[in-house]
Amino acid sequence: MSHHILVVDDEPDIEALISQKFRREIRAELYRFTFVGNGQDAYQQIVNASDEAAVDMVLTDINMPVMDGLALLAELTDLACPPKTVVMSAYSDMTNIRTAMNRGAFDFVTKPINFQDLVITINKTLKAIDKERWSQQQLEKAKVQLVQGEKMSALGQMVAGVAHEINNPVNFIYGNLKPAKSYVHDLTELISLYQRHYPEPVEEIQSYTEEIDLDFLQQDLEKLFESLGVGASRIRELVLSLRNFSRLDESDKKDVDIHEGIDSTLLILGSRLKGALEQPEIKVIREYGELPRIACYPSQLNQVVMNLLANAIDALSDRNKESDGSVEPGVIRITTKVVDDDWVRIAIADNGPGISEDVRAKLFDPFFTTKPVGKGTGLGLSISYQIVVDKHQGRLSCESSLGEGTTFVIELPLRG
Ligand SMILES: Nc1ncnc2c1ncn2[C@@H]1O[C@H](COP(=O)(O)OP(=O)(O)O)[C@@H](O)[C@H]1O
Ligand SMILES: [Mg+2]
């Protein structure tokens, strides 16, 4: 990346001189110079610069008209993140150079300029800038990890706790359904026996049988038990998925079936896929290949799948909201396969609006989101990236074309 150096000097020759001396670096886009003639113009340019034109370093003369180098330094120190400044002045001007250093200048060069020395000084300054930025980024990354880790573990614990609490009562229901069914069967059998052997019951029994519509009752009871069974096993499945998803007990790498994790996640997201009044259903197509069990951190990987699916669902719902309802139905396609013998490839593709070039450049940045406040945190993809790349030595990439859709690809090493 090219560094932007702002040169502040009232000597008209300096621009030609620097441009000539540094022509190779400029052509290689290592440095980009701009020139102004006094401190005031410099200050304006620094403060008003857009992100792309931000000034990384200032190389300033001390004695200038309008606003001199020392005044410029004084102004710059008030900025939130001032650019690093190197001052230039004659050797005999040591008093001013000292003052500049005391006002926060990073270094100085003496005039007349020795260009070899200037190159060394510029490189040293830029290196210090890069190092500071890198530390800042690491700090930011660590902060995100800490916050998200804390949130996930609290959420995971709660989910696991709730799942556990539901598990017991649901098992009462589930476990008692079978005996209940058989008792009812026995009782109906008994009634049939009575009916066979006493075909002419007393008046009271006859009228009560009609009142309760015994035939219908017997038929319906069977269906009723059927649906009780379906309901209970669906709750059991969901509870299992929640536990599978949070997998708190598994903080070590485990050999797992990736498909199980994906299926659990889909089950949890079920309500968002199913569609509602203004929300048409989203179709999920699973194209699972033959996968071996993979050594990984299962709950973290589930988290990644969850993030990617949630983004795809968001993208598809947004698209539906903006259109007049004539768009093709939303489809999420999940494809898994082994590639190059020792990589597993999980692709999650949607036919949503796609991602523009400039959004794609910032996709994995922490806190980058295009969603309104309260909806998006901008953490999903940055966390996913950390989990896939840092934790699993895998790769996470995104292919997208506007108007056609987006595919996120997770690749994990088989021998991880
Ligand atoms: N499948 C997708 N289709 C379109 N845009 C997407 C998709 N996935 C992610 N994005 C874009 O990436 C941004 C960052 O995603 P993410 O890190 O998960 O944060 P958040 O979902 O909270 O915004 C989203 O705001 C969105 O603009
Ligand atoms: Mg997200």
| pLDDT reading at 203 higher than 60 | yes
The CA distances from residue 42 to 13, 47, 54, 74, 379, in Å, are 18, 9, 12, 13, 37
| pLDDT reading at 208 higher than 80 | yes
pLDDT at 322: 61
Q: Side by side, which strands form the sheet with 84-90?
A: 31-36, 3-8, 57-61, 84-90, 107-111
CB of 381 closer than 6 angstroms to any ligand 1 atom: yes
- Determine the 3-state secondary structure of 31 from DSSP: strand
**What is the distance, to the nearest Å, from the Cα of residue 180 to the centroid of all Cα atoms in its chain?**
48
| pLDDT reading at 312 higher than 90 | yes
| pLDDT reading at 165 higher than 80 | yes
Cα angle 206, 211, 215; round to 5: 80
pLDDT tens digits, one per residue of 266-295: 988 888 888 776 778 899 999 999 999 999
**What is the distance, to the nearest Å, from the Cα of residue 71 to the centroid of all Cα atoms in its chain?**
45
Mutating to test ligand 1, I would choose from 311, 358, 387, 396 the residue with most ligand atoms within 8 A of its C-beta, which is 311
* Mean pLDDT value of segment 133-149: 83
d(CA 247, CA 23): 59
Which pLDDT band holds residue 151 (cuts at 50, 70, 90)? confident
CB of 311 closer than 6 angstroms to any ligand 1 atom: yes
Calculated CA dihedral for residues 191, 193, 194, 196, nearest 10 degrees: 120
- Determine the 3-state secondary structure of 105 from DSSP: coil
CB of 360 closer than 6 angstroms to any ligand 1 atom: no
CA-379 nearest atom, ligand 1: 17
CB of 76 closer than 6 angstroms to any ligand 1 atom: no
Q: How many helices (H) and strands (E) does the chain have?
A: 13, 12
Which pLDDT band holds residue 164 (cuts at 50, 70, 90)? confident
Phi, psi of 158 (to 5 degrees): -65, -45
* Mean pLDDT value of segment 340-368: 91
| pLDDT reading at 249 higher than 70 | no
CB of 397 closer than 6 angstroms to any ligand 1 atom: no
CA-310 nearest atom, ligand 1: 21
CB of 380 closer than 6 angstroms to any ligand 1 atom: yes
d(CA 395, CA 410): 6
The mean pLDDT of the chain is: 88
Which pLDDT band holds residue 158 (cuts at 50, 70, 90)? confident
| Among the listed residues 308, 309, 406, the one whose alpha carbon sits nearest the alpha carbon of residue 351 | 406
pLDDT tens digits, one per residue of 6-61: 999 998 889 998 999 889 889 988 889 999 999 999 999 999 988 888 999 999 99
Ligand at minimal distance from the CA of 407 is 1
Q: Whose CA is nearest to atom 2 of ligand 1?
A: 312
Cα angle 364, 266, 254; round to 5: 75
Q: In residues, how long is the chain? A: 416
